Amino acid sequence: MKRIKTAIVGASGYTGQELLRLLLVHPQVELVAATSRQEDGKPLSDVFPRFRKLPGAGLPFMMPDPDAIAATGAEAAFLALPHGVAAEIATALLARGLKVIDLSADFRLNDAAVYEEFYGHAHPAPALLDEAVYGLPEVRSDAIKAARLIASPGCYPTSILLPLIPLLQAGLLDPATIVANSMSGVSGAGRKADLSLLFCECNESARAYGIPKHRHLSEIEQELSLAAGEPVVITFIPHLIPVNAGIATTTTAKLRDGIEPARIGEALEEAYRDAAFVRLLGQGACADTKNVTRTNFIDIGWIHDARTGRIILSSAEDNLGKGAGSQAVQSFNLLFGLPETAGLQCA
């Protein structure tokens, strides 16, 4: 089978490293470009010794020049860049005929005004927002297959949306009562020098942050509103916990009047019985990050609290995997007509 020539733009961060880990061994991928301004000219294996002796690990990092990337023959590019930066190079690569899978927030929102509200500056490429497909494979597989520009979801949103979307589509929950509490490993903040992320600041400690209006709320509420068919506003409380990777999310909401709790399990099963990377744990089970780190799986459990009338949804994923790199590869597989699980069975 023909191997697809692929580029990673911004390959030296945590998400970029995860993409390298997956794509260097993907059976249908030929990695032809990996960019990093800081590591320009250095072989991948020198910067990340874990990749030594893997095929392609001698590829040198290059500068993120669109012409140079296109000259490699790349058909697709993953963008692991900060928001605001990704849009410019996405526009340039699309103009050069590449398909783009963007892991930043630049194309996740349908409304440029909402982007400006949550990200603090005008959208850098508003003309592309109508074209971009929100890349949640279990929800938008058909649109992903036909896309030219895929906006891969954020890590927190993935952990919240996948449990809730089928339940809102079925009209089982009162959207006004949704509260989501999430805990993320420190790698979710990116590979950067920041006092608040030093080992001694994070170890043996847990703290909430980004409240009451974390940036990911914008895409969470957008997608929940689409699922519910009405505007949805939720409370979202993210926390930083002293682990390298993993997200555990507990979401609660009240059942609508007259809905039997068993409908929750039925709706989840109907939505995900054929989903390769969603593992339903059933009623009474709580998801555990140790079972999903370094994989593309999301685990989902649920329980009915008869005392409060609330449903409690528990989910766990790897923030660098299903919440970032491996989910983007899952969309790549759909985009190029490959088996959805290609290169991800042991991700």
Q: Which of 35, 124, 17, 106 is nearest to 74 (CA)?
A: 35
Whole-number Cα distances in Å, 102 to 79, 105, 169, 247, 291: 5, 8, 27, 21, 27
Torsion over CA of 276, 280, 281 and 287, rounded to 10 degrees? 80
The encoded tokens of residue 206 equal 């847990």
Q: What angle do CA 78, 79, 80 make, to 5 degrees?
A: 115
The interaxial angle of helices 155-169 and 217-228, nearest 10 deg, is 10
Q: Any idea which residues carry the catalytic annotation? A: 155
Q: Output the CA torsion 226→227→230→232 (10° steps).
A: -90
Phi-psi sector, 288: left (phi>0), alpha (psi -120 to 50), beta: beta
Of 332, 298, 295, give the one whose Cα is nearest residue 316. 298
DSSP code of residue 252: E
State how beta strands 179-184 and 298-305 pair: unpaired
262 contacts 290 by C-beta, under 8 angstroms: no
